[in-house]
């Protein structure tokens, strides 16, 4: 969804909105745990989503294409929230590489029909090919393996905390290298979103939030694996 979204919005705004990933991960974790989040977590989510709204608001005031791009980004972030929470038990059971290469294989099958005609008709040159190879090998391959490993070892929400770096990096690269224009309201939204994420992490670090979940494996429930839930996976 990100490639389609970036046809309508700047890369800087895309990266800044990506900083809201931990908020979506925390929401999905609460749904999976079937528990209402604590007051501290609710406060962090409210502040964080307020920041996300501030970041995207200038785009909604623009063209219909900008609104479409922002909605696609939000849908992608919700997908990240689901994926990281699913990745944790799968990584613990199977390891990061088996999980990632199967997920990427499914993604290839699902997305290939959308771009195969453009690939066949495109005129390739060296620099775009190298850039695409680097994006695939590093941004998709290596990054996803590391993120799945981190999710299995530290929990989905804590692992997604690395996305806190994205808004700053995306803003700097977009403005300094691509000469993109970013509204002051979106920059304020970045700060508000990061403040919400900090409140969220602080609330999740509070004692008494650990729990145990049971993952049934195999057909017919032949075995049960007991997985310790990280604090952020089972918010009180």
CA-based end-to-end distance of the chain: 33
Q: What pLDDT shows up at residue 158?
A: 67
Residues 6+ apart with CB under 8 A from 53: 189
CB atoms inside a 10 Å sphere around CB 81: 24
Q: What pLDDT shows up at residue 228?
A: 38
Q: What pLDDT shows up at residue 162?
A: 65
Report the run of H or E that residue 14 belongs to, with start and end: helix 11-18
Q: What pLDDT shows up at residue 164?
A: 67
Q: What pLDDT shows up at residue 216?
A: 37
CA distance 79 to 111: 15
Query: What's the average pLDDT block by block, 10 residues per block, for the chain (236 residues)?
Result: 81 80 82 82 84 79 76 88 83 80 84 81 84 84 80 70 71 81 84 81 62 37 36 42
């Amino acid at each position: 969804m990100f490639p389609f979204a970036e046809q309508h919005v700047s890369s800087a705004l895309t990266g800044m909105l990506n900083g809201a990933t931990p908020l979506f991960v925390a929401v999905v974790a609460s749904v999976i745990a079937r528990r209402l989040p604590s007051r501290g977590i609710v406060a962090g989510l409210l502040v964080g989503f307020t920041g996300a709204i501030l970041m995207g608001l200038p785009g909604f005031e623009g063209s219909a294409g900008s609104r479409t791009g922002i909605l696609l980004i939000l849908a992608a972030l919700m997908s990240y929230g689901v994926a990281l929470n699913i990745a944790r038990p799968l990584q613990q059971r199977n390891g990061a590489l088996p999980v990632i290469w199967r997920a990427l294989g499914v993604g290839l099958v699902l997305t290939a029909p959308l771009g195969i005609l453009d690939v066949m008709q495109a005129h390739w040159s060296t620099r775009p090919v190298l850039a695409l190879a680097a994006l695939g090998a590093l941004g998709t391959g290596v990054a996803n393996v590391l993120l799945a490993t981190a999710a299995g070892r530290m929990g989905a929400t804590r692992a997604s905390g690395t996305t806190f770096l994205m808004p700053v990096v995306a803003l700097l690269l977009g403005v300094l290298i691509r000469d993109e224009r970013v509204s002051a309201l979106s920059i304020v939204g970045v700060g508000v979103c990061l403040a919400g994420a900090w409140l969220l992490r602080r609330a999740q670090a509070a004692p008494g939030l650990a729990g145990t979940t049971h993952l049934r494996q195999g057909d017919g429930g032949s075995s049960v694996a007991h997985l310790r839930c990280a604090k952020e996976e089972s918010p009180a």
